[in-house]
């Protein structure tokens, strides 16, 4: 199937945005703008919601849709994830770090994103109308020195896995109206959950129920392109809508961040206004970019996102995300043994990015690719020939055909 390379280019941009926030030299205030790199995770969420919804829509006519979908997801997600988890736990133990059994079990079963929302706090704010005021925190200037910190990013993998678990039955067995409702409802519900559960430590930012709207935005986008394919919505309307939403959401986001104190070195995620509206604006901005990349696929406008090295980095971005923090910590430990190194944080970040790319590339070639070939051979999304006389219609692709081009997800 033809692959939309622009989406891989966006994945590469997303992973480098994550690198910015985690590898930034904290002792230099000029690099504080890098703290917004965490929004790369939201871009990952929107792309995932778009692609996974398309995959599931095409599996509705498959004779064994749940088997195909869950096995393919497991073979793609589990091997690199559990290898990275084992590696972090091993390095942490050798380094003398203590990781609680609760945290280990939470990451083992993809449950990390179920923390961060207090039912007691929500009920108090609902019925007692108190506790909405929270004091914002100053900008977080942390520098990673422990391998245990590598586990802190696994909340996003938990969000993804719970999304797969919940979303497959909705799309595969639900009616069209039910799917549309489940895609649109989180856009209104999640901001309310964030408002009711927000604290200055912004723990709700890593909770599945509070961050589901980014994935749902991608799902709405997939349904919109499906409507285009069926002739219900004209493609020109989608294109113009994305061209309007992108600058408007970006402008609103800049104003919101300014109001929340971004120029006063305030951690905007710790403010109530950003918790309610900020993530929604980021999701809309990312969705408009994805929509335009799909619409303008193979055009001169999106040529830069089809740059082969960028596409390659996008294809290995999953493993890069899993291992980049332990690699960064290991590089820091190695540099510490060299004594005083000038500009050590900049050198550490540069080396960490280089080693992360090399290790992820090796994993892709010798570990992940053989598994993916087995996945495609054993659990193909094309319906196999049935033993009955009347052959069932073939399922066309891994994602909806969009303007003549099929979208393919790993």
End-to-end CA distance of the chain: 12
- The per-residue pLDDT for 343 is 85
User: What digits encode the pLDDT tens for the residues 13-35?
Assistant: 999 999 999 999 887 777 788 88
- The per-residue pLDDT for 386 is 37
User: What digits encode the pLDDT tens for the residues 259-298?
Assistant: 999 989 899 999 999 999 999 999 999 999 999 999 999 9
What mean pLDDT do residues 320-325 have?
98
Assess whether pLDDT exceeds 90 at residue 409: no
- The per-residue pLDDT for 394 is 35
- The per-residue pLDDT for 407 is 40
Quote the percentage of the chain above a pLDDT of 70.
92
Query: Does residue 118 come out as left (phi exceeding 0), alpha (psi in the -120 to 50 range) or beta?
Result: beta
Other C-beta atoms within 10 Å of 333: how many?
Answer: 14
Distance CA 208, CA 113 (A): 5
User: What digits encode the pLDDT tens for the residues 211-263?
Assistant: 999 999 999 999 999 999 999 999 999 999 999 999 999 999 999 999 999 98
Q: What angle do CA 307, 38, 214 make, to 5 degrees?
A: 85
Q: Helix, strand or coil for residue 410?
A: coil
**Domain ranges (residues) in the chain:** 5-400
The secondary structure of residue 401, as a DSSP letter, is E
Residues 6+ apart with CB under 8 A from 382: 394, 395
What mean pLDDT do residues 194-206 have?
93
Confirm if 221 and 233 have CB atoms less than 8 A apart. Answer: no
Query: Does residue 175 come out as left (phi exceeding 0), alpha (psi in the -120 to 50 range) or beta?
Result: beta
Contacts by residues 358-361 (CB-CB < 8 Å, ≥ 24 positions apart): 359/319, 359/323, 359/327, 360/316, 360/317, 360/319, 360/320, 360/323, 361/312, 361/316
For 395, list phi and psi in degrees, rounded to 5.
Answer: -80, 130
Distance CA 372, CA 80 (A): 12
Distance CA 79, CA 96 (A): 26
Distance CA 283, CA 28 (A): 29
Assess whether pLDDT exceeds 60 at residue 171: yes
User: What digits encode the pLDDT tens for the residues 128-163?
Assistant: 777 778 889 998 888 899 999 999 999 999 999 999
- The per-residue pLDDT for 2 is 63
Distance CA 322, CA 84 (A): 6
Helices (H) and strands (E) in the chain, counts: 15, 2
* pTM for the full predicted model: 0.92
User: What digits encode the pLDDT tens for the residues 335-387?
Assistant: 998 888 788 889 999 999 999 999 999 999 999 999 999 988 888 766 544 33
What is the average pLDDT value for the chain, to the nearest integer?
A: 90
- The per-residue pLDDT for 251 is 98
- The per-residue pLDDT for 393 is 34
Q: 141-159 in b/e burial notation, b at 16+ Cβ within 10 A?
A: eeebebbbbbbebbbbbbb
Element (H, E) at 382: none
User: What digits encode the pLDDT tens for the residues 88-118?
Assistant: 999 999 999 999 999 999 999 999 999 989 8
- The per-residue pLDDT for 323 is 98
- The per-residue pLDDT for 375 is 87
């Amino acid at each position: 199937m033809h692959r939309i390379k622009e989406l891989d280019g966006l994945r590469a941009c997303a992973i480098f945005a994550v690198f910015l926030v985690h590898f930034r030299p904290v002792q230099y205030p000029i690099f504080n703008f890098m703290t917004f790199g965490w929004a790369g995770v939201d871009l990952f969420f929107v792309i995932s919601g778009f692609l996974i919804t398309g995959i599931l829509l095409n599996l509705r006519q498959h004779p064994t849709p749940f088997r195909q979908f869950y096995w393919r997801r497991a073979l793609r997600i589990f091997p690199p994830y559990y290898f990275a988890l084992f590696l972090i736990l091993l390095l942490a133990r050798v380094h003398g770090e203590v990781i609680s059994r609760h945290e280990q079990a939470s990451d083992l079963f993809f449950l990390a994103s179920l923390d961060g929302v207090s039912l007691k706090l929500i009920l108090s704010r609902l019925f007692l109308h108190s506790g909405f005021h929270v004091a914002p925190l100053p900008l977080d200037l942390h520098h990673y020195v422990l391998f245990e910190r590598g586990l802190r990013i696994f909340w996003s993998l938990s969000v993804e896995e719970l999304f797969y678990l919940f979303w497959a039955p909705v799309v595969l067995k639900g009616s069209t109206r039910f799917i549309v409702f489940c895609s649109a409802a989180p856009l209104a519900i999640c901001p309310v959950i964030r408002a009711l559960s927000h604290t200055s430590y912004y723990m709700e930012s890593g909770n599945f129920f509070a961050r589901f709207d980014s994935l749902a935005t991608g799902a709405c986008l997939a349904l919109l392109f499906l409507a285009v394919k069926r002739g219900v919505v004209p493609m020109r309307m989608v294109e113009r809508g994305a061209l309007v939403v992108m600058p408007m959401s970006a402008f609103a986001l800049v104003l919101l961040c300014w109001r929340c104190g971004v120029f006063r070195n305030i951690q905007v995620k710790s403010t109530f206004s950003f918790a309610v509206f900020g993530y929604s604006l980021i999701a809309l901005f990312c969705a408009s970019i994805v929509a335009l990349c799909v619409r303008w696929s193979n055009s001169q406008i999106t040529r830069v996102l089809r740059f082969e090295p960028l596409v390659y980095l996008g294809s290995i971005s999953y493993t890069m995300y899993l291992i980049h923090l332990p690699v960064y910590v290991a590089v820091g430990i190695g540099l510490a043994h060299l004594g005083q190194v000038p500009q050590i944080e900049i050198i550490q970040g540069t080396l960490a990015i280089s080693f992360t790319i090399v290790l992820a590339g090796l994993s892709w070639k010798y570990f992940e690719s053989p598994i993916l070939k087995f996945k495609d051979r054993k659990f193909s999304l094309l319906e196999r020939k049935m033993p009955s006389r009347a052959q069932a219609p073939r399922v066309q692709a891994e994602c909806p055909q969009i303007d003549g081009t099929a979208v393919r997800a790993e």
